[in-house]
Structure 1
Amino acid sequence: MTSAPLRLPFSVGLTGGIGSGKSLVADMLAERGASLIDTDRIAHALTAPGGAAMPGIREQFGDDYVTPEGAMDRDRMRQRVFSDPDAKKQLEAILHPLIRVETERAAQRASGLYPIFVVPLLVESGKWADRVSRVLVVDCPESLQVERVMRRSGLTQEQVLAIMAAQATREQRLAVADDVIVNDRDPAALAPEVDRLHALYSSLARAASNQ
Protein backbone atom coordinates (compact mmCIF):
# COMPACT_ATOMS: atom_id res chain seq x y z
CA MET A 1 0.00 0.00 0.00
CA THR A 2 1.58 3.22 -1.05
CA SER A 3 -0.49 5.88 0.66
CA ALA A 4 -2.00 6.33 4.08
CA PRO A 5 -5.56 5.40 4.87
CA LEU A 6 -8.08 8.01 5.93
CA ARG A 7 -6.61 10.12 8.71
CA LEU A 8 -8.58 9.66 11.91
CA PRO A 9 -8.30 11.36 15.33
CA PHE A 10 -7.54 7.99 16.94
CA SER A 11 -7.07 4.49 15.55
CA VAL A 12 -5.47 1.19 16.49
CA GLY A 13 -3.38 -1.06 14.25
CA LEU A 14 -3.66 -4.70 15.30
CA THR A 15 -1.21 -7.33 14.10
CA GLY A 16 0.35 -10.66 14.99
CA GLY A 17 1.97 -13.63 13.34
CA ILE A 18 -0.02 -16.40 11.72
CA GLY A 19 -1.72 -18.47 14.41
CA SER A 20 -1.26 -15.84 17.11
CA GLY A 21 -4.98 -15.25 17.55
CA LYS A 22 -5.17 -11.72 16.21
CA SER A 23 -8.58 -12.33 14.65
CA LEU A 24 -9.90 -13.60 17.99
CA VAL A 25 -8.69 -10.49 19.81
CA ALA A 26 -10.04 -8.25 17.05
CA ASP A 27 -13.46 -9.87 17.28
CA MET A 28 -13.46 -9.51 21.07
CA LEU A 29 -12.75 -5.78 20.75
CA ALA A 30 -15.48 -5.49 18.13
CA GLU A 31 -17.94 -7.11 20.54
CA ARG A 32 -17.09 -4.32 22.97
CA GLY A 33 -17.83 -1.58 20.43
CA ALA A 34 -14.79 -1.10 18.19
CA SER A 35 -15.10 -0.93 14.39
CA LEU A 36 -13.00 -3.58 12.65
CA ILE A 37 -11.36 -2.84 9.31
CA ASP A 38 -9.67 -6.12 8.43
CA THR A 39 -7.34 -5.90 5.43
CA ASP A 40 -7.16 -9.70 5.18
CA ARG A 41 -10.95 -9.99 4.92
CA ILE A 42 -10.96 -7.19 2.38
CA ALA A 43 -8.35 -9.06 0.32
CA HIS A 44 -10.45 -12.24 0.47
CA ALA A 45 -13.50 -10.33 -0.79
CA LEU A 46 -11.48 -8.83 -3.62
CA THR A 47 -10.31 -12.28 -4.72
CA ALA A 48 -13.67 -14.03 -4.31
CA PRO A 49 -15.90 -14.78 -7.32
CA GLY A 50 -16.79 -11.43 -8.86
CA GLY A 51 -14.18 -9.63 -6.76
CA ALA A 52 -12.62 -6.47 -8.12
CA ALA A 53 -9.14 -8.02 -8.23
CA MET A 54 -10.12 -11.04 -10.31
CA PRO A 55 -9.86 -9.48 -13.81
CA GLY A 56 -6.32 -8.33 -13.08
CA ILE A 57 -5.34 -11.66 -11.55
CA ARG A 58 -6.73 -13.60 -14.49
CA GLU A 59 -4.92 -11.33 -16.96
CA GLN A 60 -1.61 -11.44 -15.10
CA PHE A 61 -1.50 -15.08 -14.05
CA GLY A 62 -3.93 -16.89 -16.34
CA ASP A 63 -6.84 -19.24 -15.80
CA ASP A 64 -4.69 -21.73 -13.93
CA TYR A 65 -4.83 -19.44 -10.91
CA VAL A 66 -8.62 -19.05 -10.98
CA THR A 67 -11.00 -21.65 -9.55
CA PRO A 68 -13.99 -22.92 -11.56
CA GLU A 69 -16.16 -20.66 -9.39
CA GLY A 70 -14.16 -17.59 -10.41
CA ALA A 71 -12.14 -17.00 -7.24
CA MET A 72 -8.39 -16.82 -6.93
CA ASP A 73 -6.92 -20.28 -6.35
CA ARG A 74 -5.29 -19.39 -3.04
CA ASP A 75 -3.33 -22.61 -2.59
CA ARG A 76 -1.79 -22.41 -6.04
CA MET A 77 -1.11 -18.68 -5.72
CA ARG A 78 0.47 -19.18 -2.31
CA GLN A 79 2.89 -21.71 -3.76
CA ARG A 80 3.68 -19.40 -6.68
CA VAL A 81 4.43 -16.27 -4.69
CA PHE A 82 6.54 -18.13 -2.13
CA SER A 83 8.77 -19.48 -4.89
CA ASP A 84 8.73 -16.44 -7.21
CA PRO A 85 9.44 -12.96 -5.78
CA ASP A 86 8.42 -11.31 -9.05
CA ALA A 87 5.02 -13.01 -8.91
CA LYS A 88 4.61 -11.75 -5.36
CA LYS A 89 5.27 -8.19 -6.52
CA GLN A 90 2.84 -8.60 -9.42
CA LEU A 91 0.09 -9.84 -7.10
CA GLU A 92 0.73 -7.02 -4.65
CA ALA A 93 0.57 -4.48 -7.48
CA ILE A 94 -2.93 -5.73 -8.26
CA LEU A 95 -4.19 -6.10 -4.71
CA HIS A 96 -2.67 -3.29 -2.69
CA PRO A 97 -4.29 -0.32 -4.48
CA LEU A 98 -7.68 -2.04 -4.26
CA ILE A 99 -7.19 -2.91 -0.59
CA ARG A 100 -6.24 0.71 0.10
CA VAL A 101 -9.43 2.01 -1.53
CA GLU A 102 -11.65 -0.46 0.34
CA THR A 103 -9.83 0.24 3.61
CA GLU A 104 -10.52 3.96 3.27
CA ARG A 105 -14.16 3.32 2.41
CA ALA A 106 -14.54 1.11 5.47
CA ALA A 107 -12.89 3.75 7.66
CA GLN A 108 -15.32 6.37 6.41
CA ARG A 109 -18.26 4.10 7.27
CA ALA A 110 -16.93 3.13 10.70
CA SER A 111 -19.35 4.04 13.47
CA GLY A 112 -17.86 2.28 16.49
CA LEU A 113 -16.16 3.79 19.51
CA TYR A 114 -12.81 3.66 17.68
CA PRO A 115 -11.48 1.97 14.51
CA ILE A 116 -9.12 -0.98 14.51
CA PHE A 117 -7.14 -1.69 11.35
CA VAL A 118 -6.36 -5.42 11.41
CA VAL A 119 -3.21 -5.73 9.30
CA PRO A 120 -1.38 -9.08 9.28
CA LEU A 121 1.66 -7.49 7.57
CA LEU A 122 1.63 -4.23 9.53
CA VAL A 123 5.31 -4.46 10.41
CA GLU A 124 6.37 -5.71 6.99
CA SER A 125 4.69 -2.78 5.22
CA GLY A 126 7.04 -0.35 6.95
CA LYS A 127 4.34 2.35 6.94
CA TRP A 128 1.30 1.25 8.88
CA ALA A 129 2.87 1.83 12.28
CA ASP A 130 3.08 5.54 11.46
CA ARG A 131 -0.52 5.70 10.23
CA VAL A 132 -2.24 4.60 13.42
CA SER A 133 -2.27 6.03 16.93
CA ARG A 134 -1.32 2.78 18.68
CA VAL A 135 -0.06 -0.62 17.59
CA LEU A 136 -1.48 -3.68 19.36
CA VAL A 137 0.44 -6.93 18.87
CA VAL A 138 -1.08 -10.31 19.67
CA ASP A 139 1.81 -12.54 20.69
CA CYS A 140 2.45 -16.18 21.50
CA PRO A 141 5.37 -18.62 21.36
CA GLU A 142 6.33 -19.64 17.84
CA SER A 143 5.86 -23.32 18.67
CA LEU A 144 2.24 -22.57 19.54
CA GLN A 145 1.78 -20.70 16.26
CA VAL A 146 2.92 -23.78 14.34
CA GLU A 147 0.69 -26.10 16.35
CA ARG A 148 -2.41 -23.94 15.87
CA VAL A 149 -1.95 -23.42 12.14
CA MET A 150 -1.26 -27.09 11.47
CA ARG A 151 -4.38 -28.05 13.44
CA ARG A 152 -6.73 -25.63 11.70
CA SER A 153 -5.37 -25.72 8.15
CA GLY A 154 -3.89 -29.13 7.53
CA LEU A 155 -0.60 -27.60 6.41
CA THR A 156 2.62 -29.40 7.21
CA GLN A 157 5.10 -28.06 9.73
CA GLU A 158 7.45 -27.14 6.89
CA GLN A 159 4.72 -25.17 5.12
CA VAL A 160 3.80 -23.28 8.28
CA LEU A 161 7.44 -22.48 9.01
CA ALA A 162 7.85 -21.18 5.46
CA ILE A 163 4.90 -18.83 5.95
CA MET A 164 6.33 -17.64 9.26
CA ALA A 165 9.74 -17.09 7.67
CA ALA A 166 8.14 -14.70 5.17
CA GLN A 167 6.60 -12.65 7.99
CA ALA A 168 8.25 -10.28 10.43
CA THR A 169 9.89 -11.98 13.38
CA ARG A 170 8.29 -12.04 16.79
CA GLU A 171 10.96 -9.62 17.98
CA GLN A 172 10.30 -7.19 15.13
CA ARG A 173 6.59 -7.09 15.92
CA LEU A 174 7.15 -6.57 19.63
CA ALA A 175 9.60 -3.75 18.87
CA VAL A 176 6.85 -1.61 17.30
CA ALA A 177 4.13 -2.50 19.81
CA ASP A 178 2.51 0.04 22.09
CA ASP A 179 0.38 -2.72 23.59
CA VAL A 180 0.78 -6.50 23.71
CA ILE A 181 -1.71 -9.27 24.42
CA VAL A 182 -0.12 -12.65 25.08
CA ASN A 183 -2.43 -15.37 23.77
CA ASP A 184 -0.89 -18.57 25.08
CA ARG A 185 -3.74 -19.88 27.24
CA ASP A 186 -7.46 -20.56 27.07
CA PRO A 187 -9.19 -17.84 25.01
CA ALA A 188 -11.40 -17.03 28.01
CA ALA A 189 -8.30 -15.82 29.83
CA LEU A 190 -7.96 -12.98 27.32
CA ALA A 191 -11.11 -11.16 28.46
CA PRO A 192 -9.61 -9.09 31.32
CA GLU A 193 -6.78 -7.80 29.13
CA VAL A 194 -9.15 -7.07 26.25
CA ASP A 195 -11.41 -5.19 28.67
CA ARG A 196 -8.46 -3.14 29.91
CA LEU A 197 -7.31 -2.18 26.45
CA HIS A 198 -10.84 -1.43 25.27
CA ALA A 199 -11.27 0.99 28.17
CA LEU A 200 -7.93 2.61 27.34
CA TYR A 201 -8.69 2.94 23.62
CA SER A 202 -12.18 4.30 24.28
CA SER A 203 -10.74 6.95 26.59
CA LEU A 204 -8.01 7.92 24.11
CA ALA A 205 -10.55 8.09 21.28
CA ARG A 206 -12.81 10.38 23.28
CA ALA A 207 -9.90 12.64 24.17
CA ALA A 208 -8.72 12.77 20.55
CA SER A 209 -12.17 13.63 19.22
CA ASN A 210 -12.46 16.50 21.71
CA GLN A 211 -9.22 18.16 20.66
Structure 2
Amino acid sequence: MCGRYYIDEETAMELQKIVLHIDKKLNPAHYSRDIVPSALAPVITNGSNEMSLELFNWGFLGYNQKGLIINARAETVSEKKSFKDCLADRRCIIPAKGFYEWDQSRNKFTFQNTKKRIMLMAGLYNADNRFVIITTKANESMEKIHDRMPLVLSDNLVHDWLFDSQETINILNKMPPLLERSSDMEQMRLEFY
Protein backbone atom coordinates (compact mmCIF):
# COMPACT_ATOMS: atom_id res chain seq x y z
CA MET A 1 0.00 0.00 0.00
CA CYS A 2 0.98 3.55 -0.71
CA GLY A 3 3.44 3.15 -3.56
CA ARG A 4 2.96 6.71 -4.82
CA TYR A 5 1.77 10.00 -3.38
CA TYR A 6 1.82 13.57 -4.56
CA ILE A 7 2.48 17.15 -3.52
CA ASP A 8 1.01 20.16 -5.25
CA GLU A 9 2.04 23.80 -5.09
CA GLU A 10 -0.55 24.59 -2.40
CA THR A 11 0.80 21.77 -0.22
CA ALA A 12 4.34 23.06 -0.63
CA MET A 13 3.16 26.49 0.48
CA GLU A 14 1.51 24.93 3.55
CA LEU A 15 4.86 23.34 4.41
CA GLN A 16 6.34 26.80 4.60
CA LYS A 17 3.79 27.70 7.29
CA ILE A 18 4.45 24.54 9.33
CA VAL A 19 8.22 24.78 9.35
CA LEU A 20 9.74 28.20 10.04
CA HIS A 21 13.17 27.59 8.53
CA ILE A 22 12.61 25.99 5.14
CA ASP A 23 15.66 24.54 3.48
CA LYS A 24 16.57 26.66 0.43
CA LYS A 25 16.45 23.50 -1.66
CA LEU A 26 12.65 23.30 -1.21
CA ASN A 27 11.25 24.99 -4.28
CA PRO A 28 7.42 24.64 -4.40
CA ALA A 29 7.38 24.39 -8.19
CA HIS A 30 9.93 21.55 -8.09
CA TYR A 31 7.73 19.47 -5.78
CA SER A 32 4.50 19.89 -7.72
CA ARG A 33 4.70 16.32 -8.95
CA ASP A 34 4.21 12.68 -8.10
CA ILE A 35 6.68 11.30 -5.59
CA VAL A 36 7.78 7.76 -6.46
CA PRO A 37 9.94 5.31 -4.50
CA SER A 38 13.64 6.33 -4.36
CA ALA A 39 12.79 9.98 -5.13
CA LEU A 40 14.03 12.86 -3.00
CA ALA A 41 11.10 14.34 -1.05
CA PRO A 42 10.47 16.68 1.90
CA VAL A 43 9.88 15.16 5.34
CA ILE A 44 9.37 16.81 8.72
CA THR A 45 11.71 15.47 11.40
CA ASN A 46 12.30 16.01 15.10
CA GLY A 47 15.82 17.36 14.63
CA SER A 48 17.35 19.29 17.55
CA ASN A 49 14.07 19.07 19.52
CA GLU A 50 12.19 21.19 17.01
CA MET A 51 10.42 20.50 13.74
CA SER A 52 12.83 20.54 10.86
CA LEU A 53 12.17 20.09 7.15
CA GLU A 54 14.63 17.76 5.45
CA LEU A 55 14.98 16.26 1.99
CA PHE A 56 15.29 12.47 2.15
CA ASN A 57 14.95 9.62 -0.33
CA TRP A 58 11.83 7.46 -0.15
CA GLY A 59 12.67 3.87 0.73
CA PHE A 60 15.08 2.01 2.98
CA LEU A 61 17.58 -0.12 1.12
CA GLY A 62 16.68 -3.78 1.43
CA TYR A 63 18.80 -6.68 2.60
CA ASN A 64 22.29 -6.56 1.01
CA GLN A 65 21.42 -3.12 -0.39
CA LYS A 66 18.99 -4.72 -2.88
CA GLY A 67 15.52 -3.39 -3.52
CA LEU A 68 13.63 -0.76 -1.55
CA ILE A 69 11.36 -1.03 1.46
CA ILE A 70 8.88 1.84 1.09
CA ASN A 71 6.34 1.03 3.81
CA ALA A 72 6.38 -0.29 7.38
CA ARG A 73 3.38 -1.99 8.98
CA ALA A 74 2.15 -0.23 12.13
CA GLU A 75 1.34 -3.59 13.73
CA THR A 76 4.91 -4.95 13.47
CA VAL A 77 7.14 -1.87 13.19
CA SER A 78 8.28 -2.13 16.83
CA GLU A 79 9.42 -5.74 16.29
CA LYS A 80 11.28 -5.50 12.98
CA LYS A 81 15.03 -4.97 13.18
CA SER A 82 14.97 -2.52 10.23
CA PHE A 83 12.52 -0.21 12.01
CA LYS A 84 12.85 -0.73 15.77
CA ASP A 85 15.66 1.81 16.35
CA CYS A 86 14.04 4.34 14.02
CA LEU A 87 10.77 4.07 15.92
CA ALA A 88 12.57 5.00 19.13
CA ASP A 89 14.06 8.29 17.96
CA ARG A 90 13.75 8.85 14.20
CA ARG A 91 10.07 9.38 13.57
CA CYS A 92 9.04 11.74 10.80
CA ILE A 93 6.02 13.11 9.01
CA ILE A 94 5.59 12.94 5.26
CA PRO A 95 3.49 15.86 3.96
CA ALA A 96 1.39 15.36 0.83
CA LYS A 97 -1.68 16.58 -0.92
CA GLY A 98 -2.84 12.98 -1.24
CA PHE A 99 -1.87 9.52 -2.45
CA TYR A 100 -2.85 7.01 -5.10
CA GLU A 101 -3.95 3.42 -4.85
CA TRP A 102 -5.04 0.90 -7.46
CA ASP A 103 -7.80 -1.67 -7.02
CA GLN A 104 -7.58 -5.28 -8.22
CA SER A 105 -8.78 -4.25 -11.68
CA ARG A 106 -5.92 -1.73 -11.88
CA ASN A 107 -8.21 1.30 -11.63
CA LYS A 108 -6.38 4.26 -10.11
CA PHE A 109 -7.93 6.12 -7.17
CA THR A 110 -6.81 9.34 -5.50
CA PHE A 111 -7.22 9.83 -1.74
CA GLN A 112 -7.14 13.23 -0.02
CA ASN A 113 -7.82 14.51 3.46
CA THR A 114 -11.31 16.03 3.44
CA LYS A 115 -10.74 18.30 6.44
CA LYS A 116 -7.34 19.80 5.53
CA ARG A 117 -5.42 20.99 2.50
CA ILE A 118 -2.42 18.93 3.55
CA MET A 119 -2.14 15.28 4.51
CA LEU A 120 0.42 14.31 7.16
CA MET A 121 1.52 10.67 7.03
CA ALA A 122 3.51 9.03 9.83
CA GLY A 123 6.91 7.72 8.86
CA LEU A 124 10.37 6.71 9.99
CA TYR A 125 13.78 7.72 8.73
CA ASN A 126 17.20 6.13 9.06
CA ALA A 127 20.80 7.29 9.34
CA ASP A 128 21.13 7.15 5.53
CA ASN A 129 18.54 9.95 5.14
CA ARG A 130 15.91 7.58 3.78
CA PHE A 131 12.31 7.30 4.93
CA VAL A 132 9.39 4.87 4.91
CA ILE A 133 5.68 5.51 5.26
CA ILE A 134 3.88 3.66 8.05
CA THR A 135 0.75 1.84 6.93
CA THR A 136 -2.16 0.50 8.93
CA LYS A 137 -5.39 -1.40 8.39
CA ALA A 138 -7.66 0.42 5.92
CA ASN A 139 -10.64 2.37 7.20
CA GLU A 140 -14.05 2.66 5.47
CA SER A 141 -12.86 5.15 2.90
CA MET A 142 -10.13 2.82 1.68
CA GLU A 143 -11.10 -0.79 2.39
CA LYS A 144 -12.95 -1.43 -0.90
CA ILE A 145 -9.81 -0.47 -2.82
CA HIS A 146 -7.01 -1.88 -0.63
CA ASP A 147 -6.65 -3.47 2.81
CA ARG A 148 -3.82 -1.08 3.88
CA MET A 149 -3.46 2.69 3.99
CA PRO A 150 -0.96 5.25 5.31
CA LEU A 151 -1.17 6.16 8.98
CA VAL A 152 -2.55 9.68 8.44
CA LEU A 153 -2.06 11.91 11.48
CA SER A 154 -4.56 14.46 12.73
CA ASP A 155 -3.15 17.84 13.77
CA ASN A 156 -3.36 17.02 17.48
CA LEU A 157 -1.01 14.02 17.01
CA VAL A 158 1.78 15.76 15.10
CA HIS A 159 3.79 16.97 18.09
CA ASP A 160 3.35 13.70 19.99
CA TRP A 161 4.41 11.61 16.99
CA LEU A 162 7.61 13.59 16.58
CA PHE A 163 8.55 14.24 20.20
CA ASP A 164 6.72 11.95 22.67
CA SER A 165 8.16 8.42 22.57
CA GLN A 166 5.70 7.22 25.20
CA GLU A 167 2.75 8.01 22.91
CA THR A 168 4.21 6.24 19.88
CA ILE A 169 2.45 2.88 20.38
CA ASN A 170 -0.90 4.59 21.04
CA ILE A 171 -0.58 6.56 17.81
CA LEU A 172 0.36 3.43 15.85
CA ASN A 173 -2.94 1.88 16.98
CA LYS A 174 -5.15 4.81 15.95
CA MET A 175 -7.45 4.57 12.95
CA PRO A 176 -6.70 7.27 10.36
CA PRO A 177 -9.41 9.82 9.50
CA LEU A 178 -11.79 9.13 6.63
CA LEU A 179 -10.42 10.31 3.30
CA GLU A 180 -12.05 11.59 0.15
CA ARG A 181 -11.75 9.13 -2.73
CA SER A 182 -11.92 10.03 -6.41
CA SER A 183 -11.04 8.42 -9.71
CA ASP A 184 -10.39 9.75 -13.18
CA MET A 185 -12.64 7.02 -14.47
CA GLU A 186 -15.58 7.08 -12.06
CA GLN A 187 -18.27 4.83 -13.44
CA MET A 188 -21.63 6.31 -14.16
CA ARG A 189 -24.52 4.87 -12.24
CA LEU A 190 -27.72 4.51 -14.15
CA GLU A 191 -30.98 4.09 -12.34
CA PHE A 192 -33.58 1.94 -14.02
CA TYR A 193 -37.21 2.19 -13.09
Task: Tell me if both proteins adopt one fold, taking TM over 0.5 as the criterion.
Answer: no
Of structures 1 and 2, the larger Rg is shown by 1
User: Per chain length, whose mean CA-contact separation is higher, i.e. which structure has more relative contact order (CA < 8 Å, sep 6+)?
Assistant: 1
Q: TM-score, normalised by structure 2?
A: 0.28
Say which structure is richer in strand. 2
